[in-house]
Amino acid sequence: MPSTLFSKARKRLKEAAKYIEVDPDVMVKLSHPQETTVASLNVRMDDGSLKSFRAWRCRYDDTRGPTKGGIRYHPKVNMDEVVALAFWMTFKSAVVNLPFGGGKGGVAVDPHKLSHGELERLSRAYVRAFARVLGPDRDIPAPDVYTNAMIMGWMAHEYSTIVGHPSPAVITGKPIVLGGSLGRESATGRGGYYILRHLEKTFGLTPKKTRVAFQGFGNASIHCALPLFDDGYKIVGVSDSVSALYDADGMDPHKVLAHKEKTGRVAGAPTFGKACEMSNEELLVSDCDVLVPGALENQIVDDNAAQIKARYVLELANGPTTPLADKILAQRGVVAIPDILANAGGVTVSYFEWAQNRAGYYWGEDEVQERLRKFIEPEAEKIWRIKQDKAVDMRTAAYVLALDRIGTAVSARGTRKFFKH
């Protein structure tokens, strides 16, 4: 039987448990999702027809607080993926010590084939279907693949209509004017930027001598590439879903972004030397010092891990590296900064947005970014120390830290040692 994304995710849990004393009750609780809800969303299309879309919401674990996680719109979304992503969110929240558990949602749809009206009706239908699951004290969605601030605004409004009063804290990643937080759009990429800059001396990186390639040039990668370039790092590769662009002499991501916004593609963007167009697969094994997979899961796999030339991998995407590929990278001395740390800036600023909504008091963008930096840098430091102390890779170290925090919370309610007569 082929392994699923969720079964691969659970291997991380079992690996971390080898390096820390964990009560068996904790492993039982974390081995299965707490609650997964499935629905069919019936949406009236512009041509008058009725179309049904499969949808899911998983609340994986709420031991440390309300579940938190995005909603993605993608034609290949399925329950296994949603559960795996909710599992990762549980550990991501614990890694950066947020008072949240993990959740995730998805709809099997190609949003590019929907009109704006159809997209709004689908989004509101999602909230109606899962209204009993959601809530600012229960389960708090956010944007994910192919969802954005406007969609979150529709969803928050639909939930507020259902409960009969404004409830902005039910969803994060909203438009600023509807209760969103400044700095949320850039948070995922900026969090990865802060981590790389914080660890650069530990890694022995010199910005002007460090070449960085971004597989995927969406929101997360853009907001990591821009400040890295401004700090002197050399950006040598970027890609979109169609193709990749590589130039050993580097490129200005500001100009690449402007080109992409104008043409819809990175191909043909100006670079500093002779650009080479290639596939996403080729970009993964291109010549660089830091590789940033910022697209979808399962990009660094068993077949290409041995060909990765980068010394460091900064995972802005969720689950871009398979467990076996992880081992291959570690054996070759490649340091992977895991997704549950590298892209945790998004959920951290989502927490800030939730807290601001609850308080009715909002912060400036500089304050948000400084709070993010102060939140995320100490956790990167702790994970690096665990890596060194236990002689493990950074991913295992991150799971050890998260598992310890979740396990402590589970034990605080009593385990078999307490209840055994």
Among 92, 104, 174, 260, the active-site one is 104
CA angle 252, 262, 175 (to 5 degrees): 90
Q: What is the mean pLDDT of residues 130-139?
A: 97
Segment 142-192, tens digit of pLDDT: 998 899 999 999 999 999 999 999 999 999 999 999 999 999 989 999 999
What is the arithmetic mean of pLDDT over 300-324? Answer: 93
pLDDT(355) > 70: yes
Confidence of residue 3 (pLDDT cuts 50, 70, 90): low
Q: Residue 249 pairs with which residues in a beta bridge?
A: none
Q: Delineate the domains of the chain, giving CATH numbers in brackets.
A: 33-178 (3.40.50.10860), 187-342 (3.40.50.720)
Tens of pLDDT, residue by residue over 98-110, are 999 999 999 999 9
**Above 60 in pLDDT, residue 326?**
yes
Q: What angle do CA 120, 124, 130 make, to 5 degrees?
A: 150
Under a CB-based contact definition with an 8 Å cutoff, are residues 179 and 167 in contact?
no
pTM, 2 dp: 0.92
pLDDT in tens, 30-87: 999 999 999 999 999 999 999 999 999 999 999 999 999 999 999 999 999 999 999 9
pLDDT at 2 over 60: no
According to the model, what pLDDT value does residue 9 have? 82
Tens digits of residue pLDDT in 273-284: 999 999 999 999
234 has catalytic annotation: no
pLDDT of residue 111: 97
- In tens, the pLDDT along 204-247 reads 999 999 999 999 998 899 999 999 999 999 999 999 988 899 99
